[in-house]
Amino acid sequence: MKPYASKNAKLLKQYPFLNDILLLRLEPLGKDNNLNIDELTIKVQKADGDLMFRKADNVGLGDNSFICQVSGARKGQVMRRGEYLFAIGENNKCLKRLDWPRNSEERRVLDWEVYGKFALWETELSNGHLMNPLWNKTKCLVWVTVEAWHKDSRKDDGPESRFGEFVERTIQLTVYGKPECGFEKLHENANVYENLRIDSNTMIQGALKKDHDLVSMNGMLYEMCIMFQDQVYFNGMKKILDNCNARGASGQFGPVKVLCAEMCGYDRVMLQDANCYVVFQLRPGSDSMYVLGQDGTLPQIRNLVRTVVMMWNENPEVRSKFKSDGNVSVM
């Protein structure tokens, strides 16, 4: 949406602090390092526990990383991304700006993770401890995602070589209003086991840092894997895959899509819906699957597995529609 479309203009008037945020030099910048905004999206919703444990997904800020598109409207483009969180007071002034490590190298230096709930504290100590809560002063939180798109030069001559002609800079603002319980209670009730979005990198970092919670969550994921293995995969699904006349099979289980494929001798299964995914894999000659990767909260991933297990065992019609698929693609 154009920055000053009528819908945006109305929201910018309703939330005047957004104009102040848009004037900040938030990376990545636009053409010639200016603050141009070619597309602006504004959303409004209530703050929840997931926001308390949300982390920025920064890409290409001070390192060689980038995101590329191989299909769709962005095909042939590459992008940098920066994300930020602001706590706004009753006077519409910023109480706290939360910046994450700009890239993976900066993140590795920290012995602790930066979560969205940090925006509700005035002071962060060097050990990750928080002081001087702001929850009684905070009117709302604003999540900001900035993306700068360029044509993909497909060159590999240095950190900047892939970024060709500038295309556009987009900003998405999400205003998170105060929940009915208030920010203090929300902060208190948010739970790492319920609200943290776990991807493969998070689990690896948790293992390296011997984080008790993440190590426990890894065990929970393995239990889900074994439940799927025993009640679905070795209960008919593998047989269908083995008898396929193509390299894979797929089926729809309510909102959950299941994709199976044999890849270099490994059997790989992905369960996914609109919010998350999990991938299980079986080594050649092994009789036990393991978790290859995932992205989502534990409750979201648990719901994927439970839905497929239930429908596989209780709905013969759905099971019968799990069939050979020559176009299947599994991460």
Residues 91 and 229 in one domain: no
Residues 167 and 103 in one domain: yes
Residues 48 and 132 in one domain: yes
Confirm whether 90 is domain-assigned: yes
Residues 62 and 100 in one domain: yes
Determine the number of helices (DSSP H) and then strands (DSSP E) in the chain. 11, 15
pLDDT in tens, 116-152: 999 999 988 877 788 999 999 999 999 999 999 999 8
Instruction: Provide the domain limits for residue 177.
Output: 6-190
- From the CB of residue 285, how many other CB atoms can be counted at a distance below 10 Å? 6
pLDDT in tens, 286-303: 999 999 999 999 999 999
Residues 106 and 181 in one domain: yes
- Which residues, in sequence order, are CB contacts of 65 under 8 Å at separation 6+? 59, 103, 104
Residues 78 and 161 in one domain: yes
- Which residues, in sequence order, are CB contacts of 36 under 8 Å at separation 6+? 30, 169
Q: What is the structure's pLDDT at 285?
A: 87
Strand partners, 327: none
The number of folded domains in the chain is 2
Domain boundary among 132, 155, 190: 190
| High-pLDDT (> 90) share of the chain, % | 67
Confirm whether 201 is domain-assigned: no
| Ranges of the chain with pLDDT below 70 | 158-159, 329-331
Residues 107 and 148 in one domain: yes
Q: What is the structure's pLDDT at 300?
A: 97
Task: Answer whether 297's CB lies under 8 Å from 276's CB.
Answer: yes
Task: Answer whether 59's CB lies under 8 Å from 79's CB.
Answer: yes
Q: 141: part of which helix (H) or strand (E)?
A: strand 138-152
Confirm whether 27 is domain-assigned: yes
**For residue 8, which phi and psi values (nearest 5 degrees)?**
-65, -40
- At 63, which amino acid appears? D
Burial group, residue 93, by CB count within 10 angstroms (0-12, 13-18, 19+): exposed
Residues 125 and 268 in one domain: no
Residues 180 and 220 in one domain: no
Find where tokens 């059997």 sit: 267
Residues 218 and 186 in one domain: no
Residues 98 and 182 in one domain: yes
Q: Parallel, antiparallel, or unpaired: how do β-strands 39-46 and 163-177 relate? A: parallel
pTM of the model: 0.89
- Alpha-carbon distance of 258 to 62, in angstroms, equals 38
Q: What is the structure's pLDDT at 82?
A: 97
Residues 51 and 151 in one domain: yes
Domain boundary among 155, 190, 225: 190
